[in-house]
Amino acid sequence: MIKDAVAVLTQLIRRTEARLYCSKDSLEALKSSLDLNHSIGSLRVNNVLANMPEFAEAFHCAPGTRMNPDKRCTLY
């Protein structure tokens, strides 16, 4: 039961986090992002979450898929 509650809480946190950067970027916005030191929103969310085993577990992502890759980038 506790594990289910943790999974639901993790899902809620990740969905809220994703909504912060949820957007449909125009071509002009995508071009301007090349000049800035910031990634576009979808990369800020998807790339970070795909590298978190906790995300894959909470959302039941199948192994080897885009959001649960076999190889992950570990920063720390």
| Structure confidence by residue, pLDDT tens digits, 14-50 | 777 777 666 677 888 777 777 777 777 777 788 888 9
Residue 16 lies in a domain: yes
Residue 63 predicted with pLDDT over 70: yes
Residue 59 predicted with pLDDT over 90: no
Residue 69 lies in a domain: no
Distance CA(22)–CA(51), nearest Å, equals 19
Residue pair 7/57 in contact (Cβ under 8 Å)? The answer is: yes
Residue 64 lies in a domain: no
Residue 65 lies in a domain: no
Domain residue limits at 11? 2-58
Residue 43 lies in a domain: yes
Residue 41 lies in a domain: yes
Total domains present in the chain: 1
Distance CA(6)–CA(20), nearest Å, equals 22
